[in-house]
Structure 1
Amino acid sequence: MDSATSTSKPPRPRPHGPRGDRKHTPKVDTKGLYKRAIKESFVKLKPRVMLKNPVMFVVYVGTIVTILMTFDPNLFGPVQGENLRFFNGLIALILFFTVVFANFAEAVAEGRGKAQADALRSTKSDTIAKKLLPDGSIQEISSTQLHRGDMVKVVAGDIIPADGEVLNGVASVDESAITGESAPVLKEPGSDVASSVTGGTRILSDELSIRITADPGKGFIDRMIALVEGAERAKTPNEIALTVLLAVLTLVFLFVVATLPPVANYVSSPVSIAILIALLVALIPTTIGGLLSAIGIAGMDRVAQFNVIATSGRAVEACGDVNTLILDKTGTITLGNRLAEEFVPVNGHSMNDIARVALAASVFDNTPEGKSIVRLAEKLGATVDFDRNAAEGIEFSAKTRMSGTNLPDGSEVRKGAVGAIKGFVRSRNGKETPELDAAYERISQLGGTPLAVALNGEIYGVIYLKDIVKPGIRDRFDQLRRMGVRTVMLTGDNRVTASVIAQEAGVDDFIAEATPEDKIEVIQREQAQGKIVAMTGDGTNDAPALAQANVGVAMNSGTQAAKEAANMVDLDSDPTKLIDIVTIGKQLLITRGALTTFSIANDIAKYFAIIPVIFASARLESLNIMGLTSTNSAVLSALIYNALVIPALIPLALTGVKFRPLSANQLLQRNILLYGLGGVIAPFIAIKLIDLVVTAVGLA
C-alpha cells in the first residue's frame, strides 16, 4: 500500500512501460507439439472422455451409427439407392474427422501448456542444500528433504534449493529460469518486495541465509507446473453455462430431425438414417462445441504469455467480468520512486536546520525515498552529529504514518504525513504553525507528497517528495472506462495530493490516506453492489484484500502470504500488468461470444444446403438457392465444411479475437455484424465450392 512517508518499493531492474511490455515466460520447445496433439486427439476418443462434451458426443454416436450402416445399409430398415455403403462410409469418415478435429483443438491448447510445464520442470532439479543446524554448523542434504521452517545458506553460484524468505545478507539473484528476464534482482531481508526467493533460481553474488517456506512438492515452481499443465482444468461458470446452452440446442435439433421422417414419407421422399444423422450434425453447434474447451485453455495460456500464472480458468474469466479496478498509486499509476526534491523550512528555521533534522530522521530509512532525503540533506552540507550505534531507528507504521530516529540524548526526530506529525507535536506539548499548512498546500497542489519533519515538540519544515505519473497511463484508463471498468486509486497521500494525481492520471475515484483496512472495505463495498473487483498487492498486509478480491494479482517479488492469498501471480512484478490481465479476460469472453455467434449463424446456410435437396421429390427445388448438384453432394459438402471449419478456426481460438476497447453494446453490434453476418455468408460460398469439387471428383 502507498504510504505518506518513505515506503517506496524497490524497483525491479526491468524496463516495463505503462502498457506492461509483453515478456514471454521461459521459452517452450514446441518441437513435436502438433505430433503429440494428433496422438492425443485419438486418445480422447474414449467414450467417458467424449461424454464431457455433449455436442461432440452426439457427433461421436452418429459416427458409430454410420460406420455400422456402412457395413449394413439396411440396418434400420430397407433403403433404396446406389452405392449406399460408399456414401455411408464417406459420411462416417467425415464425422470421424469432425470429432478428431475438435479433440485436436483441445489437445493443441493443452499441449502448449504442457510444453511450458516441461520447460519449467527442467528448471527444477534435485540440488544439494546447505542446511543450517541450531549449533551453527552446516549439513549438506538433498533439496527434496527440506521442510518449511528449515534454515539454509546459499553463496554465489548456488541454486536456491526451495522457496523461502531472506533472513540475512544482500545478494543478486538470477530469476531468468522463472521470468525469462536476464537482469538480476536484488534480494535482502526486511522488505516485502525483496525478501522472497524462489526455488530453482540462482544466486549470482554474495551470500544469503534463507528460511524455507514450502514443503517438498509444494513450492512455487511445483504449483506453476500444475497450473500451466492444466491436466485437471475445471470448467468456469460461464463455460458450464454455455455448455448447457449448447446441449439444449443440440436436443432441440435432435427433436426437429426426429420429426422429419414422417413428413418425408408423407410427401413420398423417404430419408435414410445416415442423411438424418448428417443433417443433425450439420445443424448442431459443432464449431463452438469443438472449440469451447480450447478457448478456455488458450485464455490461461495468453495470461502465461504475459508472465502471469493464474490459479484457474475461473480467475482468467473473472478478469473479463471486472467492473472495478483497485490500484495502488506508487509503482502502478506513478513511477514508484518518490524522491526528495526540496526542503521547505518553517517556524523561523533555516535551510540548514531542516536539512540537519531531516537527515537525522532518515539515517535508518533504507527505502529509495529515505535515501533521496539523505542525499539532498548531505548536498546541502548537513552531517550526522550523533553516534548511530547509540541511536534507535523507528520504522514506518501504517498506523502512525511516521518514521524517524530516537537520538542518544533522548530527543525524538520524526518525519511523516503532515497530520501525523501535527499529532506527534501536540502530544509533546508543541505548537503548530500556519506556515506548515501553507507549505503543505503548495506542495500538494504541485502533485507532490509533503512530509513534515519535527524534533521533539517543534516542527522544522516540510520535505517535498516529487511523484511522476507514468506516461500513457491516462490513455489506458480511458480505454478501461470505455469498457465499463471503474478505476479506484488507493494512496496514503493526503487528499489534496491524491486529488492532483488522480486528476492527472484520469482515474474515476481515489481514496486518500488509505490504510490496509481501507482496501478490504472498498472491495467489500464494491462487491456488495454486485461488482467484480480486481486489485494488486505484494505485502503481507495486502493478503486479506487479495483474498477478498475476485481477481487478486500478487507480485512475484512479494511475500509468500501475498502469493498464497492471490489467484494470480505476476512473475515480472509489474503492478500495471493488472490492466493487461483485464484486457486478456475480456478478450477471452469476446472470443467465446464471437465463435458462438459464428457457429449458430452457420446453421442457416447448412439448412438451405440440405433440407431442399432432401425434399427434392416434393418439388421444393426452388429452395435449393445454392444450386447444389444432388442430395448426396449437398450432404457431403455441408459435412465437409462443418468438419473443416473447426481446424480453420483453431488459430483464432488460440490467439483470441483482436481486442478493441469498446462498450458492451458496441462489441455486441460489431460481433453480430462481423461474426453473425459473416457466419451466414461464409458457409454459402464455401459449401457451393465444396459441392463443385465433390461433384468433379465423382464422390456424389
Structure 2
Amino acid sequence: MKQNQVLRFSIQGLRCAGCVSSLENALQNTDGIVDVTVNFAEHVAQVQGDTSSEKIIAAIVEAGYGADLIRDNGQFDDTAAQEQLEYQQLVDKAVMPAIFALPLMLYDQINGLPDIISLPGRFFWLLIAVITLGCLIYSGKHFYLGALRSWQHRQANMDTLVALGTGSSWLYSVAVLALGDRLPHLAQHAYFEAALFILIFLNLGAAIEVRARGKTSSAIRQLMNLQPKTARLVRQGLELDVVIGDVLVGDIIRVRPGEKIAVDGRVIEGLGIVDESMLTGEAMPVEKNVDSTVKAGTLNIQGSFLYQADRIGQETLLAQVVETVLQAQGAKPAIARLADKIAAVFVPVVVVIAMGVFVGWFYFGPQPALGYAFVTAMTVLVIACPCALGLATPISVMVAVGRAAQAGILIRNGQALQTAGQISCVVFDKTGTITEGRPEVVEIKAFNHFSQKQVLQWAASLELGSEHVLAASVLRAAKAKALTTLTVTGFEMRPGLGVTGLIGNQRVALGNQSLIDELVLDASTCNDVLQHSYVQGYTAMILAVDGEIVGILSVSDPVKTDSAQAINQLHALGIRVMMLTGDHERTAQVIAAQVAIDHCRAQCLPSDKLAIIKELQAAGEVVAMVGDGINDAPALMQADVGVAVGSGTDIAIDSADFIILDGSLLKMNQAIELSKATLTNIKQNLWGAFIYNALSIPIAAGLLYPAFGFLLSPVIASAAMAFSSLTVVANANRLRWVKLTVETND
C-alpha cells in the first residue's frame, strides 16, 4: 500500500457513532496508517497509509468488527445486494417477536393477562418467558454479540443500551416469576411483552433505516449504471460484442444511435451527437467528429462513428468520477468530527444516568420502588439514541455529494463542502476559466527579416514541450499550415512568463511582456502592435531570438457565454469577485470589463497569485480560487476552497476541492447554494438529535411524574428511538431534491 493510496473497506458490526470513534482510534494506533475516516452512514472505512490491506483487516477484526476490502467500484452492486439482505433479515427479526407480542397485547385488552402469582398464571408466564427468550436470541442476537464485543474492548455503544434494556426486562420478569408473592404486590409485574416490543421497533426501525440509507446512494448508483456492460469491437473488418473488461487500449469500437459509449477514446471516423449531461451536467448535446474525445457512459443520440479506446477500466473519466464521489462521501467536515467526539462519550454517560435514575427511584420513589426504579432505568437505556447523532452529518454529506455529482460538480473534500457556504471572495483565473480555454492565433506580425511562417514555426517548436493552453493554439496554427517543428534543446518553462530554449545555437524566448522585461529586451519598435493586441482583448505572445524581438502572435480566447451571468450571480450573493492573470494589464482590463469584474490583477506569476490569496485570507476573507492551469495549482491549494474547471490539467484537478466537469462557471453558484443547504441540513439533524435526547432522557427518567403522575413506557421509548434515526435520514434525503439556481432557470 503506497503512502498516499486510499483503500476502502466495507465494515460489519457498526452499530452507532460510538463504534465509529472506537474503530477510528484502533486503526489510527496501527503502524503505517496515516489517516482514517469511518463513515457510519455507509458502513465504510477509508484508510490511507503504507501498510497492507491484510494488516488493516486484522486490526479491524481485533477491534471487534468485520471487514472486506472494496477492490473496485463494481463491488458497489455487491453492497446493494448486502443492503437488501440486511433489510430482509431485520424485517424477519421484527416479525418474529411481533407474532407473539401482538396476540399477547390483544388478549390482554380483551380478557386481561393471568395473575403471575397464581398457579395457572405461573405456567402461562413460564411459557411466555421461554418464548421471549427465544425471540431475544433470534431477534436480538446481534445486539447481545455487539454488546459483548464492546465489553471485551472496554467500550460501550448502542448495543450496550439495547442489551441492558431488553436483558434486564427479561431477567426482572423471570425474577418476579420465581419469587412470586415474596415481592411486594405492586412490584409483581412482568415485562416480557416490553422486551418483545422493543425488539420489534428497533429491528423494524433499523430495516427502514437501511432502506433509506440505500436511497441516499441513488446518485452514485445512477453514475455506475451509466457504464455499459459490453462494447462492439471492430477487428479485421468484423464487428463483435465483447464484455467491457475485454476492451484494450487501442481497440476500435463502433457506436450506433441510442448506444452508450463504452470507454474513453477519440473519434477516428464518422459523426455523432452525444448527450454528456449525465456525466458533466451540460444540457446541450455535443457534436463529435474526427479527433473529438468521447467519454464512457455518455449517450450517442444521433449518427454513427468509430473511435479508438484511450482509457479503459478505472482510468476512464466515469470511473474517476465515481471514485471521487465515493471518497468524498466518506469524508468528514469539522462539524462531523465534533459530533463524533460527543457520540464517543454518549453511551457511557447514558449508562451512568440510568444507574443514577435506578438508585434515585429505589431510595426515594414511591412503592413499589423496585418496580419504578427498574422501569425508569430500562426506559432511559432504550430511549437514548446515539444513532441519530452519528448519522446527522455523514448522511447529509452522502446525499449532498451525490446531488453535486448529478449537477456536474465533483466534491473531493468534505471540509470544503462545509466551507463553500461561507465564501466571501471568489478569485478567478482568466484563460480557460473566464474564457473558453480554446484560444486561436488570429494575427502574426514579423520583424527583423523573419517571415510570419518562420515566426509561427519557431514559436510552435518551443511550445511543443509546454502544457499551457496557449501552447495548444500555436501548435494548432502550425499544424494547419503543415509546418514542421525544429529541434529544441535546453527547454525551460517559466511559469507565468513563457518558455525559453535553444534552436541550433540561437537562444529563443516566447512569452508575455513580463518575460521580455525580465530578459531586458527592447520592445519599443513593436509597441504599437502590442497595444493594438491588448485593446482587442488579445493575448500577445512575443518571440525573441538572440535578444531581438522577431515576431508577435496575437491569440484570441473568447469569454465563455455564461461567465458574465455567473459573476452577476455571485455579486447578487454579496460575494466579492476578483480576476488574477498572467496576461498584460490592458488585455486583463478588457476581459474584466466584459464580465463586470471590478477587481483585477494582471501580470501575476504563480507566486503572486499565491501571495494575493494569502493577503485576502489575512484580511478575513473566505476565499475560493477557480482555475484550470498549472500556474493555478499553488493558489488552488492555498485557497479555502479550490475549484478546478473540467478542462483543467491533472495537477490543477489534484489541487482542487471541487471540480466543475463541464467548465461552466454557473456551477460555482450552485456549489455555494448546495453547501449552504447541506450545512443547514446538518445543523437541523444535529439540533434534532440533541433536542430529542435532551428532552427524551429526562422524561424517560420520570421528570414528569411528580407533577403529572406520568411515566413513559419502555415500548413507546423504543419506538421513539427508532423514529429519531429515521427522522435524520428522511431530513438528509431532502437534499436530493434541492433546487439549484441554474436548474430552475433552464
TM-score of the superposed pair, with normalisation by structure 2 = 0.57
- State the Cα distance separating 1:555 from its structure 2 match: 4.8
C-alpha distance in 1 between matches for 2:496 and 2:717: 73
Asked if 1:247 is matched to 2:247, the reply is: no
| Residue type at the aligned position of 1:477 | L
C-alpha distance in 2 between matches for 1:416 and 1:390: 20
List per-residue Cα deviations over 1:174-210 (Å, max 9, x = no partner): 3546457561354776xxxx65744776595554445
C-alpha distance in 1 between matches for 2:315 and 2:533: 50
| Residue in structure 1 matched with residue 250 of structure 2 by the alignment | 151
| Residue type at the aligned position of 2:362 | N
Residue 563 of structure 2, aligned match among 470, 473, 476: 470
| Residue in structure 1 matched with residue 274 of structure 2 by the alignment | 174
Residue 630 of structure 1, aligned match among 685, 701, 710: 710
C-alpha distance in 2 between matches for 1:571 and 1:43: 44
List per-residue Cα deviations over 1:17-76 (Å, max 9, x = no partner): xxxxxxxxxxxx9x9999888437669984578989966445433453256258536499
| Residue in structure 2 matched with residue 651 of structure 1 by the alignment | 730
Aligned ranges for residues 356-371 of structure 1 at < 5 Å?
none
Do the aligned residues in 2 keep the contact of 1:538 with 1:562 (CA within 8 Å)? yes
Residue 279 of structure 1, aligned match among 358, 365, 380: 380
C-alpha distance in 2 between matches for 1:451 and 1:231: 41
Relative to structure 1, is the Cα distance of residues 293 and 205 closer, same or farther in structure 2, using a 3 angstrom cutoff? Answer: same
Relative to structure 1, is the Cα distance of residues 631 and 110 closer, same or farther in structure 2, using a 3 angstrom cutoff? Answer: same
C-alpha distance in 1 between matches for 2:425 and 2:438: 26
C-alpha distance in 1 between matches for 2:459 and 2:473: 9
List per-residue Cα deviations over 1:457-477 (Å, max 9, x = no partner): 578998887757834434543
Relative to structure 1, is the Cα distance of residues 219 and 259 closer, same or farther in structure 2, using a 3 angstrom cutoff? Answer: same
| Residue type at the aligned position of 1:655 | R
List per-residue Cα deviations over 1:353-392 (Å, max 9, x = no partner): x999999999999x9999999xxxxxxxxxx9xx944676
List per-residue Cα deviations over 1:302-333 (Å, max 9, x = no partner): 22232334457566456567677543335644
| Residue type at the aligned position of 1:174 | V
Aligned ranges for residues 119-130 of structure 1 at < 5 Å?
120-121=224-225, 123-130=227-234
| Residue type at the aligned position of 2:88 | K
Relative to structure 1, is the Cα distance of residues 80 and 592 closer, same or farther in structure 2, using a 3 angstrom cutoff? Answer: farther
C-alpha distance in 1 between matches for 2:329 and 2:168: 33
Do the aligned residues in 2 keep the contact of 1:66 with 1:92 (CA within 8 Å)? no
SS at match of 2:339: helix
Alignment RMSD (CA, Å): 6.3
Residue 212 of structure 2, aligned match among 103, 108, 125: 108
Aligned ranges for residues 557-576 of structure 1 at < 5 Å?
569-576=659-666
| Residue in structure 1 matched with residue 285 of structure 2 by the alignment | 183
Residue 580 of structure 2, aligned match among 461, 469, 490: 490
List per-residue Cα deviations over 1:194-231 (Å, max 9, x = no partner): 6574477659555444544x5x4554444555565689
Do the aligned residues in 2 keep the contact of 1:308 with 1:568 (CA within 8 Å)? yes
C-alpha distance in 1 between matches for 2:272 and 2:82: 36
Structure that is richer in strand per residue: 2
Aligned ranges for residues 245-324 of structure 1 at < 5 Å?
245-269=342-366, 270=369, 271-282=372-383, 287-310=388-411, 313=414, 316-317=417-418, 319=420
Relative to structure 1, is the Cα distance of residues 418 and 105 closer, same or farther in structure 2, using a 3 angstrom cutoff? Answer: same
C-alpha distance in 1 between matches for 2:391 and 2:496: 58
Between 1:552-561 and 1:596-605, the stretch displaced more is 552-561
Aligned ranges for residues 219-618 of structure 1 at < 5 Å?
219-225=316-322, 233=330, 238-269=335-366, 270=369, 271-282=372-383, 287-310=388-411, 313=414, 316-317=417-418, 319=420, 325-330=426-431, 332-333=433-434, 388-389=481-482, 417=512, 431-432=524-525, 435=528, 443=535, 448-449=537-538, 451=540, 457=549, 467=559, 470-478=563-571, 489-498=579-588, 510-514=600-604, 535-536=625-626, 538=628, 553-556=643-646, 569-603=659-693, 605-606=695-696, 609-611=699-701, 616=705
Relative to structure 1, is the Cα distance of residues 436 and 563 closer, same or farther in structure 2, using a 3 angstrom cutoff? Answer: closer
| Residue type at the aligned position of 2:711 | T
Do the aligned residues in 1 keep the contact of 2:267 with 2:289 (CA within 8 Å)? no
List per-residue Cα deviations over 1:572-627 (Å, max 9, x = no partner): 4434424433443343333222322233234454366445567x4xxx32xx4xxx
C-alpha distance in 2 between matches for 1:518 and 1:361: 29
C-alpha distance in 2 between matches for 1:276 and 1:548: 52
Between 1:495-504 and 1:106-115, the stretch displaced more is 495-504
Relative to structure 1, is the Cα distance of residues 37 and 296 closer, same or farther in structure 2, using a 3 angstrom cutoff? Answer: farther
Between the two structures, name the one with larger relative contact order (CA 8 Å, sep ≥ 6). 1
| Residue in structure 2 matched with residue 680 of structure 1 by the alignment | none
Between 1:640-649 and 1:310-319, the stretch displaced more is 310-319
Stretches of structure 1 lacking an aligned partner (at least 5 in a row):
1-28, 348-353, 374-383, 404-412, 662-700
| Residue in structure 2 matched with residue 409 of structure 1 by the alignment | none
Identity %: 18
| Residue in structure 2 matched with residue 21 of structure 1 by the alignment | none
Between 1:166-175 and 1:236-245, the stretch displaced more is 166-175
| Residue in structure 1 matched with residue 162 of structure 2 by the alignment | 60
SS at match of 2:579: strand
| Residue in structure 2 matched with residue 687 of structure 1 by the alignment | none
Do the aligned residues in 2 keep the contact of 1:319 with 1:586 (CA within 8 Å)? yes
- State the Cα distance separating 1:242 from its structure 2 match: 0.9
SS at match of 1:85: coil
List per-residue Cα deviations over 1:393-444 (Å, max 9, x = no partner): 99998759689xxxxxxxxx999755567889x85x7743665686578x3x
| Residue type at the aligned position of 1:600 | F
Do the aligned residues in 1 keep the contact of 2:645 with 2:664 (CA within 8 Å)? yes
C-alpha distance in 2 between matches for 1:605 and 1:333: 52
C-alpha distance in 1 between matches for 2:702 and 2:518: 86
C-alpha distance in 2 between matches for 1:218 and 1:657: 28
Relative to structure 1, is the Cα distance of residues 245 and 487 closer, same or farther in structure 2, using a 3 angstrom cutoff? Answer: farther
Do the aligned residues in 2 keep the contact of 1:167 with 1:210 (CA within 8 Å)? no
C-alpha distance in 2 between matches for 1:492 and 1:40: 62
